[in-house]
Structure 1
Amino acid sequence: MSSTTAKSPDVSRRSERSRKAILRASMELVGEVGYPKLTIEAIAARAGVGKQTIYRWWPSKAAVLLDAFTEVVHDEDYSSGLPDTGDIEADLKYVLRATADEFSDASFEAPYRALAVAAAADPELADQFVSRLREPGVRVYVERLRAGQEAGQIDPDLDLDLAVELLLGPFQQRWLNRTGPLTHEFTDGLVELAMRALAPRATPR
């Protein structure tokens, strides 16, 4: 006589599937309706879960979106750093051109802008936004500039955190305030201007 044993459901797998569906839904919806109209109820409906499932894991829609966006950024992986061909100006131009293309893509731009605006009004979210998104990005620029210092292409006495602010600040302001398009001409000019400020000072005779 044979008997069949029913398998018990894998709760952890089901939970992970639900979590990924929620994160995906939040990214899709913020691009479709914008952050102000994004709701936990809409995310739950799109993900096929109850809203209490979302509230069990996240306190707010901003927290859901931050997790979703962080996963997207981590998929691109900061660990490899910026390219280092030995020509720091060419490398920075390459990276900022790619960044301009990314920030002009609605699927990236909508959730990032939503988080930036929400963080401006929420100190706790702002801390997480900085530590999870901004700081890892700044770190790879600092490391590339440090390599430039070691190669004699960047002034050895520079504060590298401040140097990154000098490079990225105008880019972020143009994007956040919508004062102009993020063209490759703009990013190339920005790198060229920054390199004049960051280059080693001529040794006086």
Structure 2
Amino acid sequence: MEEKCSRKQHEILNAVIEALEEMEYTKLTIEDIAIRAGVGKSTIYRWWKHKSDVVFSAFAYKTESVFDLDFNQSLKFNLQQQLLKLSHALSQGVGRALLVVMAEHRESAGKFFQQYLLPRRELVKKLLQNSIERKEIIADYPFDIMLDSLYAPLHYQIIFFNKIPDEVYISKLVDFILNPILIKNSAE
């Protein structure tokens, strides 16, 4: 989706978010979205090929600035805040739908990963580099595996246990993952 959305695109994305609070992704139709947004189905298809694409856009729209990082804060603080916000976003209708869509529509999920998730992951890598330079963490570590180990438990808790990770769970998770790489004399 383009960086700047038109008013109609915003209305469509808001309609998707609203609809997914009331129904599961599998029951959502382009017609439902069109009625809620007050547009024709052809207007939706002008920008999105499939309802899965609209869900990806709606999630990105809803979480536009949610995952911003504060490079003046510690790595631990940033990771805890980001995981809490992600947990909250995934607990909402559009977040739950996103998880379904990612499992069912691999090609669309790949585009979403490239366009939305990968740039955010690169920002976290910059945060890691910043933490190395500040001597918070060691430099030699498999950081890609570490990041996978941080984010995967949220999905696991939500998908398999239908449980939204809370602040206590996330704090323990971040401590568990960061403990092997922390430089012991660094301030958290």
Q: TM-score range by the shorter chain?
A: 0.7 to 0.9
1:179: how far off? 5.4
Contact 1:100 1:184 in 2 (8 A): no
Amino acid in structure 2 at the alignment position of 1:82: L
* CA–CA separation in structure 2 for the residues paired with 1:33 and 1:179: 16
Pair 1:44 & 2:44 matched: no
Structure with larger RCO (C-alpha < 8 A, sep 6+)? 2
Q: Which residue of 2 aligns with 1:83?
A: 70
Query: Which of structures 1 and 2 has the bigger CA Rg?
Result: 1
Q: CA RMSD in A?
A: 2.5
Pair 1:17 & 2:1 matched: no
Amino acid in structure 2 at the alignment position of 1:127: G
1:85: how far off? 4.0
1:52: how far off? 2.1
Q: Which residue of 1 aligns with 2:175?
A: 192
Contact 1:24 1:68 in 2 (8 A): yes
* Deviating 4+ runs (over 3 angstroms): 84-87, 97-104
For residue 166 of structure 1, give the secondary structure of its aligned residue in structure 2.
helix
1:102: how far off? 3.8
Structure 2 spans left out of the alignment, 5+ residues? none
1:131: how far off? 1.6
1:90: how far off? 3.5
Deviation digits for residues 129-154 of structure 1 (CA, Å, limit 9, x no counterpart): 21233213322222211111112222
Aligned length: 181
Pairing partner for 2:146 from 138, 142, 163: 163
1:156: how far off? 0.8
For residue 26 of structure 2, give the secondary structure of its aligned residue in structure 1.
coil
TM-score (norm: length of structure 2): 0.82
TM-score (norm: length of structure 1): 0.76
Deviation digits for residues 78-117 of structure 1 (CA, Å, limit 9, x no counterpart): 5xx522345333343343334334444xxxx221221221
* CA–CA separation in structure 2 for the residues paired with 1:113 and 1:127: 18
Q: Which moved more, 1:42-51 or 1:55-64?
A: 55-64
Deviation digits for residues 176-204 of structure 1 (CA, Å, limit 9, x no counterpart): 32354411110110111111222359xxx
Pairing partner for 1:100 from 74, 84, 87: 87
For residue 198 of structure 1, give the secondary structure of its aligned residue in structure 2.
coil
Q: Which residue of 2 aligns with 1:11?
A: none
Structure 1 spans left out of the alignment, 5+ residues? 1-14
1:77: how far off? 6.4
User: What percentage of aligned pairs have identical amino acids?
Assistant: 29
1:170: how far off? 1.7
Contact 1:146 1:160 in 2 (8 A): no
Pair 1:115 & 2:101 matched: no
Q: How does 1:43-82 map to 2 (within 5 A)?
A: 43-74=33-64, 76=65, 81-82=68-69
1:16: how far off? 2.9
For residue 197 of structure 1, give the secondary structure of its aligned residue in structure 2.
coil
